Amino acid sequence: MGFLVTDSWVPNVPGHHSYVSDREQVLDFSYPMFSAGLEVMTTRRGSSPNWTSELTSFVTAGVGRYLLALLVGLIVAGHLIWLATRRHTQHGYLAGVGHGIYKAAGLGLVGDYGVADPKRPLGRVAAVIWTIAGVSFVSLFTAALASQLTVQNIESKITGVQDPSGAKVATVTGTSAAEYLTTHAITFTGVSTINDAYRQLHSGAVDAIVFDAPVLQHHLKLTRSTNDTVVGGIFDREDYGIALPTGSPLRKKINETLLDITEDGTYDQLYSEYFGDNPA
């Protein structure tokens, strides 16, 4: 009787060995069933958003600069309007500047002149210039917001194995995934089983899972989740095969069967059923 084996785990074989070197001394292997490796799984968290974190991610440095420019522009315009109209009003400094900011906002942002249009030619020219500046600002600000929202909607926090350095990652301890993360100095949370890793991901305790690609792909195929996804492609490639006792008479039969199902299309059919489309 054989069992499926990868670099992730082999009983009674110490350390991390290649598919055909040290393990071949104690086990016989079938032809590779498929070439795979490790992959990164992440999830979208749009079902129950935290409004404070959403607001924090929304107010970026670029948006902040637009808001600061708007505030400074309105304050300056408010002072200019107050200076131009203070002889004809009874407003004090604060009330006059506040009224000027209100009128500047109405004129620049929505094109509202208020109760009276400017009478003097200079005032009308200034109003036109301010209106054009306001319309331009609104257009630029709207474009910046749209761009920010688009980026937030189409980009995941994790896009591949190069990203977990700034995120919380989980994997099963004692596996090739754990060894890969350790070798590349990526901090991770070790769990006992892959199901524990799924629970950590869905609870928000971690941002991503790094594990054997076929296992993650089969999970997606089985659960048909619309939130979970694998990203970044397969890395640290390794072959999967059936391990048998040394000298097992089943090896030749298994190899012949693997060749037969590959040639007649059965292999691709089984792969698609359990893992999705065959990338090979």
Q: Which CATH number fits the domain that encloses residue 30?
A: 3.40.190.10
For residues 141 and 62, the answer to whether their CB atoms sit within 8 Å is: no
* Domain end position, chosen among 123, 154, 185: 154
Tokens standing for residue 12: 């009674």
For residues 27 and 201, the answer to whether their CB atoms sit within 8 Å is: no
Q: What is the pLDDT of residue 81?
A: 77
Distance CA 202, CA 199 (A): 5
The answer to whether position 98 is within a domain reads: yes
Q: What is the pLDDT of residue 106?
A: 75
The answer to whether position 280 is within a domain reads: no
CB atoms within 10 A of CB 19: 16
The answer to whether position 79 is within a domain reads: yes
Q: What is the pLDDT of residue 188?
A: 92
Distance CA 216, CA 39 (A): 8
The answer to whether position 96 is within a domain reads: yes
Domain check: are 35 and 172 in the same one? Answer: yes
Q: What is the pLDDT of residue 145?
A: 67
Nearest to 158 by CA among 146, 166, 149: 166
Domain check: are 250 and 174 in the same one? Answer: yes
* Mean pLDDT (10-residue bins), the chain, 280 residues: 44 38 67 82 66 56 75 83 74 80 75 58 71 76 62 50 69 91 88 95 91 89 85 80 85 92 88 70
Q: What is the pLDDT of residue 4?
A: 47
Q: What is the pLDDT of residue 186?
A: 84
Looking at the structure of the chain, the number of domains it has is: 2
Tokens standing for residue 203: 């609870």
Domain check: are 183 and 86 in the same one? Answer: no
The answer to whether position 266 is within a domain reads: yes
Domain check: are 202 and 129 in the same one? Answer: no
Q: What is the pLDDT of residue 205?
A: 92
Q: What is the pLDDT of residue 273?
A: 82
Q: What is the dihedral of CA 262, 268, 273, 279, to 10 degrees?
A: 130
97: domain CATH number is: 1.10.287
List the domain range (segments joined by +) for residue 141.
Answer: 51-154
Domain check: are 18 and 74 in the same one? Answer: no
Q: What is the pLDDT of residue 237?
A: 80
